[in-house]
Amino acid sequence: MPDRFFTRFLVPFLPKRDGAAAYTMIIRGADDPERETREEMKARGAGAGLAVLELNKIMKSETPELWADRLVEYLQQDGKPRTFNRLGVELVGKTADALMASNLQRGLVLAVADGRLACTIAAPILFRTRAEGDVDVAAAEAEDEPMDLASADPSSPTGVLTGHEAIDYAEKHGGTLAKHTDPTEEARSGLSVEEARAIAKEDPGLIVLEEEPPAIAVDLDLLEDAMLELGDAREGVRLDWCDDGEMEALTVHPRRVTACATVWADGLVQLHADGDLDSEPTDHRFTSAAALWKLITKGA
């Protein structure tokens, strides 16, 4: 790997967490805070740290994909790079060594795999929201088109996104969210992501992305890593590679649910609610690894 990679932020990049390399991610920064007492966290919560107390309460129940969303939101607040250790102390009052293999760590890795966060490779590893000038690892290594986990590919087919898929897409790539008319309100356009999420809690079918987005070209290798992360936090996941002679695909089957989905490299997601790959699928568009997992496991 080129020397410049060791001092730059990389996207998308997954820190190694097997063997001795697993401990690189938990190395502390020189200015990392010490573990806080409950009283100190409460004192910080009196001001801008209110979110800290909320996160601490749901530490045990939060899923990796929700942690990924919360970590991105937290790092966006001031844009400062942080170690995994610092994030743990600031958010839940725990140091990195106590958070190894936690859903918080899985969520952090997932957000990097999705391309929403960037990280350094040299210890102590720092994480922040991605920015202009970050090194695209796949592009630098292949000297070809960027191969983010999800990158725009206007030449691929398009499709209208609705519900949580539309919200996830708009949050990551932009776009105008709208809602259909319902018994309590007329149709509305220009919804914020927060407004759309609130409406989707009651009825996801009301939300739609007004523009047809460009399809998403998916790096299936990175998707495989992200699905293993999510599966490791649950009862497991089975992943099967396949192709149609022209294009590769990855079938994702979480073990705790019946449904499975085949994700094609051009971003087409074919969902089989009954788990039978020979049955007629419903077609969706890939937006992110977290959204894919939610699509397959909804109602489980």
pLDDT at position 226: 80
The DSSP code for 97 is G
Sheet holding 82-83, edge to edge: 82-83, 126-129, 117-119, 10-11, 135-136
Per-residue pLDDT 10s for the chain (300 aa) are 443 333 466 655 555 555 555 677 888 888 888 776 666 666 655 333 445 545 555 555 678 888 888 899 999 998 889 999 999 888 888 888 888 878 888 888 888 877 788 887 667 888 988 877 666 654 544 443 333 444 433 333 334 677 887 888 788 777 788 888 877 788 888 899 999 999 988 888 888 887 655 556 788 888 888 888 777 655 688 999 999 888 899 999 988 889 999 999 888 899 999 999 999 999 888 877 777 888 898 744
Instruction: Round to whole Å and give the CA distance between 300 and 297.
Output: 5
SS3 71: helix
Domain limits of the chain? 3-137, 159-209, 217-297
Q: How many CB atoms lie within 10 A of CB 177?
A: 25
pLDDT at position 39: 66
| Strand-pair category, 135-136 with 10-11 | parallel
H-state helical runs in 101-212: 103-113, 137-142, 163-173, 193-202
| Strand-pair category, 150-152 with 126-129 | unpaired
SS3 86: helix
- Kindly tell me the burial class for residue 258, based on how many C-beta atoms sit within 10 Å of its own C-beta (0-12, 13-18, 19 or more): middle
pLDDT at position 43: 64
pLDDT at position 33: 84
pLDDT at position 168: 81
Q: Is 299 left (phi over 0), alpha (psi -120 to 50) or beta?
A: left
| Closest to 193 (Cα-Cα) out of 56, 40, 69 | 69
pLDDT at position 263: 93
pLDDT at position 234: 57
pLDDT at position 267: 84
CA distances from 200 to 17, 177, 186, 193, 269 (A): 35, 12, 16, 10, 21
Share of the chain above pLDDT 70, in %: 70
